[in-house]
A = this chain, B = another copy of it.
Amino acid sequence: MTATKPPSGTRDFLPDDVRRREYVIGVIREVYERYGFEPLETPAFENIETLLGKYGEEGNKLIFKILRRGEHEERGDADLALRYDLTVPLARVVAQYQNELPKFFKRYQIQPVWRADRPARGRFREFFQCDIDSIGSTSPVVEAEELGAVVEILRSLGFVDFRILLNHRQILTGLLVVAGVPSSQHEAALIALDKRDKIGEAGVASEFAARGIDAQSAERLFTMLREFYTPSSKPVGLVNADRFTSLDGYLGTTEYSGAVDNLREIVRLVKGTSAAEYVNVDPRLARGLSYYTGAIMEIAVPDLAGSLGGGGRYDNLIGLFLGRDVPACGFSLGLERIIVVMTERNMFPTDVVHRAVDVMITMWNEDTRGDALALASDLRRAGLRVDVYPEAEKLGKQFKYAATRRVRFVAILGDDERAQGNVSIKDLGSSEQQTVARAEAGAFIKQRIEANG
């Protein structure tokens, strides 16, 4: 007998799980569409060379690789690989369909990705990303719009206590330069800084030391960054004003002042939108991926290590596929983390896990099967969700089954009912039972449902 658990790090979604997921995806999709993003879907796997080398050394190891088939299978090498994120496939799509896509291509994509990470609480090997990306413009309007969409989604789902941290890769570079870290060590420094939430400042310091960054530069950097720590009690607006003053102080006379001005403009644009009170300039934010070139963003909620989502500007990635650079900026929401937090906090509306079925038609005996199915046909035509109990078992057993399945109405087609062209409808909520003409059964039940939900 074969084992029956799903593979390590993956999950089966039973009906109520699917309903909760569909609810969240529905909200995300609706908001993305109101922000003018259009749907895109790409294959689950890509040619392996499309993915290799795009996610850094660590990423290469986490890619699921697919064996060549047929006579090549025995060689044991791979020619395909499962989608690791939605950004690299998008870059490929932009290059492939450049003549069919609009100049400013705004797409959303809600699909699973696969990473061979060690499974842990809230970390899966198959998980959904819900991405938006705007291709073709360097305007800070792009970042402001994406921040607006993400805030509106989180608000619509019922989140109130989040912040969206905002930084710029060139600000981090500027601070590294000011601290005296040589440019050859910048990439290593960013990777270490990105782990601060997990390993603390002391952990970052020892990674710096291990990578040969001198202690004095490290201490100068940490001193600057400490200043940007946010006590959660501080109003966001005030924080942003303070931070621009500090950043001007450190970088105002350097070539990195443009990055500060870029963030200042994004914050200004966001002010007229619902995102205003959630955006928090945070020069400590690093983000792991190496392809970012401009603004970077991440959602922080108090009771979650790790973020609900993040993104940033990456003006060079598409060039790897197209041969010329095209500006781009994206934001990715992590569906499972949103669902983990919403479940823990009991944030789902009660009607998300709804009744699967409005009416169950009981089976009187085997000769009445045809009648039962004809009644089901009528009720479904009236728009009701209808189940037919397949076996002519005792009626009490059939009622009990309906109750465990959260069905509200059962329909009985007994000998009397059939002789008179009627059907008896029992409301399992109130235990009331009423006999109505068959032709009116659909309208009768619909009216009851509309009257008291």
Contacts and interface: CB of A to CB of B under 8 A. Distances in A.
Interface of A: 1-7, 10-15, 17-19, 21-22, 33-36, 38-47, 49-50, 61-62, 64-67, 69-70, 73-78, 80, 82, 92-93, 95-97, 100-104, 106-107, 112, 114, 116, 126, 134, 137, 139-142, 144-145, 148, 152, 265, 268-274, 320-323, 356-357, 360, 363, 369-374, 376-377, 380, 383-391, 401, 404-405
Contact of A97 (B12, B35, B47): B12
A401 B36 CA distance: 14
Given A3-B47, A102-B404, A139-B391, 13 more contacts: A4-B322, A10-B45, A12-B43, A12-B97, A34-B380, A43-B126, A45-B64, A65-B66, A67-B78, A134-B390, A144-B369, A268-B370, A272-B370
Contacts of A95: 4
Contacts of A321: 1-2, 4
A142 B369 CA distance: 11
A18 B104 CA distance: 19
A401 B102 contact: yes
Nearest to A98: B4
Contacts of A104: 389-390, 401
B272 A38 contact: no
Main SS at interface, chain A: mixed
A6 B77 contact: no
B65 A73 contact: yes
A391 B5 CA distance: 52
20 contacts: A1-B322, A2-B321, A4-B96, A11-B43, A13-B41, A35-B380, A35-B386, A61-B69, A64-B80, A65-B69, A66-B82, A69-B116, A103-B401, A104-B401, A140-B369, A141-B372, A141-B373, A265-B369, A269-B369, A273-B373
A102 B15 CA distance: 11
Contacts of A391: 137, 139
Contacts of A61: 69-70
B69 A67 contact: no
A390 B13 CA distance: 40
Nearest to A8: B47
A7 to B, nearest CB: 5
Contacts of A323: 1
A64 B66 contact: yes
Given A34-B386, A70-B61, A12 B93 contact: yes
Contacts of A62: 69
Contact of A2 (B13, B50, B390): B50
Nearest to A404: B102
A355 to B, nearest CB: 10
Nearest to A382: B34
B383 A34 contact: yes
Nearest to A392: B139
A305 to B, nearest CB: 25
A65 to B, nearest CB: 5
Given A34-B385, A363-B141, A14 B97 contact: yes
Contact of A3 (B18, B49, B360, B370): B49
Contact of A19 (B39, B140, B274): B39
Contact of A386 (B13, B36, B40, B144): B36
A144 B15 contact: no
Contacts of A265: 369
